[in-house]
Amino acid sequence: MSGSATGAFRSLGTFNYRVWAVGALVSNVGTWMQRTAQDWLVLTQLTHNNATAVGVVMALQFGPQLLLLPLTGFAADYLDRRKLVIATQAIMGSLALGLGILTVTGVVQLWHVYLFALLLGCVAAFDSPARQTFVSELVGEDNISNAVALNSTSFNIARTIGPAVAGALIAAVGTGWVFLINSASFVAVLSSLGLLRVHELHRGNRAHRTRGSLLEGLRYVWRHPDLRAVLFMLFLIGTFGLNFAIFISTMSVTVFHAGAGQYGLATSMMAIGSVTGALLAARRANPDVTLLLTSAALFGIGCALAAIMPVYELFDAALVMTGVAAQTFTTSTNSFVQLSTDPSMRGRVIAILLAIAVGGTPVGAPIVGWVADTFGPRWALGLGAASGFGATIVAICYLATRRSAVRGQE
Element at 61 (helix H, strand E): helix 51-67
Structural domain contains residue 1: no
Structural domain contains residue 3: no
* CATH code for position 124: 1.20.1250.20
Structural domain contains residue 404: yes
pLDDT of residue 5: 47
Q: Which of 286, 66, 318, 93 is nearest to 186 (CA)?
A: 93
Nearest-angstrom CA–CA distance, 86 and 77: 16
pLDDT of residue 398: 93
The CA–CA distances, whole Å, from 184 to 26, 28, 125, 170, 322 equal: 10, 12, 21, 17, 31
Nearest-angstrom CA–CA distance, 129 and 75: 9
Structural domain contains residue 322: yes
Structural domain contains residue 4: no
Nearest-angstrom CA–CA distance, 334 and 354: 9
Q: What is the pTM of this model?
A: 0.71
Question: At CA 360, angle to CA 318 and CA 150, rounded to 5?
Answer: 60
Contact 388, 296 (CB under 8 A): yes
Segments of the chain scoring below 50 in pLDDT: 1-5, 207-208, 210-211
Nearest-angstrom CA–CA distance, 16 and 394: 38
Nearest-angstrom CA–CA distance, 135 and 334: 12
Structural domain contains residue 386: yes
pLDDT of residue 1: 36
Q: Which residue blocks in 340-409 are alpha helix, DSSP H?
A: 346-357, 361-374, 377-409
pLDDT of residue 179: 92
Structural domain contains residue 91: yes
Domain count, the chain: 1
pLDDT of residue 274: 79
**CB half-sphere exposure, 375, CA atoms < 13 A:** 13
Domain containing residue 248? 11-197+209-409
What DSSP character marks residue 279? H
Nearest-angstrom CA–CA distance, 119 and 114: 9
Rg (CA), the chain: 20
